[in-house]
Amino acid sequence: MLTVICGLPSGLREIVTDFFRKENFDIIEKIMYTPADVQWHTLSPKRDASEAAINHCRFTYPSFGRTIGICDGDISDALCGKKNCLLTCSSDRPEIYSELKAGYGGYVNTIFVYTDPERLEEIYKKHCGNDAEEEIRRRVQLGGMLRKLYTENIDLFDDIVIFGGEGSEFDSNSVCRQLKNIIKKSLESQDKLNDSAYVEFPYQGHEQYLFTSYSHNDRDTIMEDLTMLRNHGCRLWYDTAGIRGGQNWPDIIADKLEHCAQVLLFWSRSSSVSHEVANEINYAINVGKPVLPVMIDDAVMTGGMKLRIGSLQYIQRANFDYKKNLLHSISPNVFDK
């Protein structure tokens, strides 16, 4: 389970990370690249890094002119249910949250921490000093941007936690109690996902699965086939959200291709001109994944695509015995026994 918490102010962040450590969560480390023309006073433990180091991170997000990189470390294990990790995030862009949730579904639990604006200013006066007016203004502004992120994208967050500051009924102890209840629910959900008798749709577990490559213009056509496969116990993953331009989405797709057992390619007039489909198949071939092509209309397989996937037998969706052939052609390793 990867728990992502957005909106933690300084002081509370340290308390919350210590709380998660006691709950046996690993803390995902972050690095930060700050261009020479950007001024920023760091209050949280991020390692300064070069732009080249940031470019090697699988997940990144922008923040006030800086780029924050998430160190891979144990994040891959968290995203397939093998361990529990905490990631604190201050991005006011919805993409980082939507990409993680679209790519890894129930193994990502997103939490927003709401702090009253006046209380937030008091916190940063304490941590930055009364003389750091510009720094305080900038951090209070970030708090406002994060609150706006939450109100405009409520569906991206699974839970909200209230922090009223020390001395209030919603103090740091209350925050930890709220989080403990959330952790309990998320771990119960993770146990369900890890249950071999349960096939999530799309699959998010750590067993072998089928990667589906298709054009989103064909979504309505192929969903019948995907549902049929799921009902037969097939563990399959497909892009549910169509986040093609997201900053981290290519790395998520690459991760899914690297860990799949087989690629199911739905070939059509739309997919034949899709750069995303071509990129997925190129990468699948490069990492040695077998490709199973399904022809869903009269589109001719291009010479370049034939060259990439080799002399494979194509399955014609229009054939009367299509579903039987499809089931028999898919690797048995992706089906629940």
Q: Which residues of 188-200 are buried (b: 16+ CB within 10 A; e: fewer)?
A: ebbeebbeeeebb
Is 301 contained in some domain?
yes
Q: What is the pLDDT of residue 263?
A: 96
Question: Are 240 and 321 in a shared domain?
Answer: yes
- Where residue 287 falls among pLDDT bands split at 50, 70, 90? very high
Q: How far apart are CA 174 and CA 28, in angstroms?
A: 24
Tell whether 96 and 215 lie within a shared domain. Answer: no
Least confident of 112-121, 229-238, 243-252, 308-317: 243-252
Query: Mean of the pLDDT values across residues 156-185?
Result: 92
- Together in a domain, 90 and 7: yes
**Are 185 and 292 members of one domain?**
no
Q: Is residue 202 part of a domain?
A: no
| Residue 118 forms part of a structural domain | yes
Residue 277 pLDDT more than 70? yes
DSSP 8-state class, residue 15: H
264 with 325: CB under 8 angstroms? no
Q: What is the pLDDT of residue 193?
A: 67
Q: What pLDDT does residue 242 have?
A: 52
Q: What is residue 131's predicted lDDT score, i.e. its pLDDT?
A: 65
Claim to verify: residue 47 and residue 82 sit in the same structural domain: yes
Last residue of a domain, one of 161, 194, 227: 194
The whole-model pTM stands at 0.66
Do 148 and 28 belong to one domain?
yes
Same domain (yes/no): 238, 176 = no
- How far apart, in Å, are the Cα atoms of 231 and each of 186, 199, 260, 335? 25, 9, 19, 10
Total domains in the chain come to 2
Same domain, 66 and 113: yes
94 located within any domain:
yes
Give the pLDDT band (50/70/90) at residue 41.
low
Residue 49 belongs to a domain with what CATH number?
A: 3.40.50.300
Q: Judge whether residue 86 has pLDDT over 50.
A: yes
| pLDDT of the residue at 196 | 46
CATH number of the domain bearing residue 283: 3.40.50.10140
Q: Please give the mean pLDDT across all residues of the chain.
A: 83
pLDDT at 43: 52
Same domain as 230, residue 120: no
Q: Kindly state the average pLDDT of the residues 191-215.
A: 76
Q: Are residues 142 and 225 in the same domain?
A: no
**β 59-63/66-70 pair status:** antiparallel
- How much of the chain exceeds pLDDT 70, in percent? 86
Q: What is the mean pLDDT of residues 180-202?
A: 74
Whether 199 is covered by a domain: the verdict is no
**In the predicted model, is pLDDT for residue 209 greater than 90?**
yes
* Backbone φ, ψ for residue 68 (5° rounding): -100, 130
> 229 and 93, same structural domain?
no
Residues 275 and 139 in one domain: no
Range of the domain at 317: 210-334
